[in-house]
């Protein structure tokens, strides 16, 4: 049955900011992160009602079914050896890409993150997109070495592959913004400062035209593909997303556990 929820998402307060986040302890007197964010009320629609009409090139996201052979998603070795090849195959089949490379992953669970379990992070409850006009191509240069120049001459995309690793998502589900409703000015550069390099993401500024979706009660065989960058300018290019506090979650809801895998998808010359 189709339904929607009213929730509040964290947006960047205004477009005139240039947020900065340090991924390590910053110099003395420098804040670890900057940028002013506020909660804005939004309606988040049930994407299951339009699942058959979703497209990576229109809305910027789809959900597909995939059974995984991974037994323990908290095992870095097993994820890299078993899940990475599964994801590469899934993205090739779902997009028509000629070549797919997985280049990193994050596992998220709030209680384990608070216990400082190695590598586990909390869900991100800020509206954002993982790559920018600059950082998308830079990722290819960083990772593909001598092949980068040739690959950048053709179409490529950065696709985030997100799935629950719990029985079902009962709290902190992921909301995705229809890429067609995002104006260029809504995407605000946000610097990520690493010890050895500078990265960029987009924070999202509020626009009442944004249309948000989620998949209620997602299960572990449901996998969401989110397009975070596309070199082709006439399709969905940036698909902002955010975890959110679901007002329909039970007070004793099981904490969400999920994994996201980032991929580079390189397309044939004719695409």
Q: Which domains are delineated in the chain?
A: 4-266 (2.60.120)
Beta-strand pair 128-129/61-65 = unpaired
Smallest Cα–Cα separation from 165: which of 123, 223, 212?
A: 223
94-108, pLDDT tens digit by residue?
A: 999 999 999 999 999
Mean pLDDT rounded to a whole number for the chain: 95
pLDDT at residue 118 greater than cutoff 90: no
| Rounded Cα gap, residues 203 and 182, in angstroms | 12
Burial of 181: CB neighbours in 10 Å, binned 0-12, 13-18, 19+: middle
**Residue 270, pLDDT score:** 74
Q: How much is the pTM?
A: 0.95
3-42, pLDDT tens digit by residue?
A: 899 999 999 998 999 999 999 999 999 999 999 999 999 9
pLDDT at residue 75 greater than cutoff 80: yes
Name the one residue in this structure whose structure tokens are 């629609």. Answer: 45
**Residue 2, pLDDT score:** 56
183-232, pLDDT tens digit by residue?
A: 999 999 999 999 988 899 999 999 999 999 999 999 999 999 999 999 99
| Rounded Cα gap, residues 64 and 69, in angstroms | 16
Smallest Cα–Cα separation from 19: which of 132, 181, 179?
A: 132
HEC string of the chain? CCCEEEEEEEEECCCCCCCEEECCCCCCCCCCECCCEEEEEEEEEEHHHHHHHCCCCCCCEEEEECCCCCCCCCCHHHHHHHHHHHHHHHHHHHHCCCEEEEEEEEEEEHHHHHCCCCCEECCCCCCEECCCCCHHHHHHHHHHHHHHHHHHCCCEEEEEEEEECCCECCCCCEEEECHHHCCHHHEEEEEEECCCCEEEEEEEECCCCCCEEECCCCECCEEEEEEEEECCCCCCCCCCEEECCCCCCCCCCCCCEEEEEEEEEECCCCC
């Amino acid at each position: 049955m189709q339904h929607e929820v009213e929730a509040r998402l964290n947006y960047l307060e205004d477009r005139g900011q240039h947020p900065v986040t340090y991924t390590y302890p910053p110099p003395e007197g420098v804040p670890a992160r900057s940028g002013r964010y506020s909660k804005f009320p939004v309606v988040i629609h049930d994407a299951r009602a339009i699942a058959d009409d979703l497209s990576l090139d229109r809305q910027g996201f789809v959900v597909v079914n995939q059974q995984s052979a991974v037994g323990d998603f908290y095992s870095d070795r097993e994820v890299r050896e078993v899940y990475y090849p599964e994801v590469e195959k899934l993205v090739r089949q779902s997009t028509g890409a000629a070549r797919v490379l997985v280049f990193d992953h994050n596992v998220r669970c709030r209680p384990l993150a608070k216990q400082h379990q190695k590598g586990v992070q909390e869900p991100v409850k800020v509206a954002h997109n993982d790559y920018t006009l600059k950082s998308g191509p830079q990722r290819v240069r960083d990772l593909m070495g001598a092949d980068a120049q040739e690959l950048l001459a053709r179409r490529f995309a950065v696709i985030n592959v997100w799935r629950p690793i719990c029985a079902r998502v009962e709290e902190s589900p992921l909301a995705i913004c229809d890429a067609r409703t995002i104006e260029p000015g809504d995407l605000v550069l946000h610097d990520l400062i690493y010890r050895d390099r500078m990265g960029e993401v987009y924070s999202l500024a509020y626009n009442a035209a944004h249309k948000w979706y989620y998949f209620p009660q997602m299960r572990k065989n449901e996998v969401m593909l989110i397009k975070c960058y596309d070199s082709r300018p006439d399709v969905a290019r940036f698909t902002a997303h955010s975890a959110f506090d679901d007002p329909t979650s039970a007070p004793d809801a099981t904490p969400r556990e999920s994994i996201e895998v980032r991929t580079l998808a390189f397309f044939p010359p004719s695409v």
